[in-house]
Amino acid sequence: MSHDRENCSALVDGVVRGDKRALARAISLVESYRPESETLLKVIFAKTGRAYRVGITGPPGAGKSTLASRIARHYGNRGLKVGIIAVDPTSPFTGGALLGDRVRMSDVELDGSVFIRSMASRGSLGGLSVATQDAADVLDAAGFDLILLETVGVGQSELDVVRAADTVIVVLVPESGDSIQAMKAGLMEIADLFVMNKSDRPGADQAATALRTILSLRPNPHSWTPEVLKTTASESQGIDRVCTFIEKHREFQSSNGLLEQRRAARLQEKVKELVIRSLHTEFWNNERRELLEARLPSLCERSTSPYEVVEELLRTFPL
């Protein structure tokens, strides 16, 4: 225990110094959900809150990773410390192995100036969103100025990841119907900025115009209308404007208190996700696991419903 604490304090020192090996180890630790990770996260929490977090999402193939790396390079060139956390299973950062055995690319660096980390989109119970926020906290405590969270914009758990950012960019491509699909997938509600990427393809102007029309018709509770910017990230076209926009959105939110509100909501949400995880772990002790096992035959025979088994289990659980 005290040995653990010593290790942890060495790790914290490494993280705060920005040592890349320590960062990689710390993120692996928070990803593992092991108890030591809590000690680490409690200690570093006081040093977080300075980094600005940008979520980048959109359908597979929209060019999210390319955009992320271009934004990272833009700010890296200006001397900022930038980190990318990728949880997109289709991202080149995230890797993936043949033979069904998932192996993640080890931490790679882009031009040596950007820290890139991929995370597995596994687990449930809000685990993905907690793990990515914890990883972002590690980078935040290490003095990173900008953290980009990249995830594919399909799926509830994945959207929760970017929803926890300070600015959310939704990346689309000009192909017809893409923006309509984005609306269906719940991307419209979370976007602070739309990037119409691959704008060298035909139909980019029409797609951007259609999207602007839709946005102008939408109720706008925060008096912030998301812009639609065209980029060709692979050619580094339009990246400057995207970055200018991120700064504009940051200022807007800082000046009217929205950034604080957003971060408070994120912390509240995180507490709730951690509570769920703890309750789940503590609830399923041996006794309750055995009770469920004992009821399995009657569940399979359909003589007892799952809802009745749940009631029986919860009776052993005073709230």
- Please list every residue from 281 through 300 that binds its own copies, using CB under 8 A: 282-285, 292, 296, 299-300
Among 34, 201, 218, 222, which residue sits at the site for its own copies (rule: CB under 8 A)?
218
Phi and psi, residue 68, nearest 5° = -60, -45
Among 214, 224, 237, 250, which residue sits at the site for its own copies (rule: CB under 8 A)?
214
For the CA atoms of 254, 258, 262, 267, the dihedral, rounded to the nearest 10 degrees, stands at: 70
According to CB under 8 A, which residues from 1 to 40 bind its own copies?
A: 38
According to CB under 8 A, which residues from 222 to 251 bind its own copies?
A: none
Contact between 142 and 18 (Cβ < 8 Å): yes
Contacts for 95 with CB less than 8 Å, ≥ 6 apart: 103, 104, 105, 118
**First vs last C-alpha separation in the chain:** 31
Largest CA distance in the chain: 67
By rule CB under 8 A, what count of residues binds its own copies? Answer: 81
Cβ distance to its own copies smaller for residue 78 or 283: 283
**Least spacing, CB of residue 242 vs its own copies, in Å:** 23
Between CA 111 and CA 45 the distance in angstroms is: 29
Residue 237, token pair as written in the block: 């076209």
**Least spacing, CB of residue 214 vs its own copies, in Å:** 6
**Least spacing, CB of residue 15 vs its own copies, in Å:** 15
According to CB under 8 A, which residues from 89 to 118 bind its own copies?
A: 89-90, 94-100, 102
Among 34, 122, 222, 248, which residue sits at the site for its own copies (rule: CB under 8 A)?
122
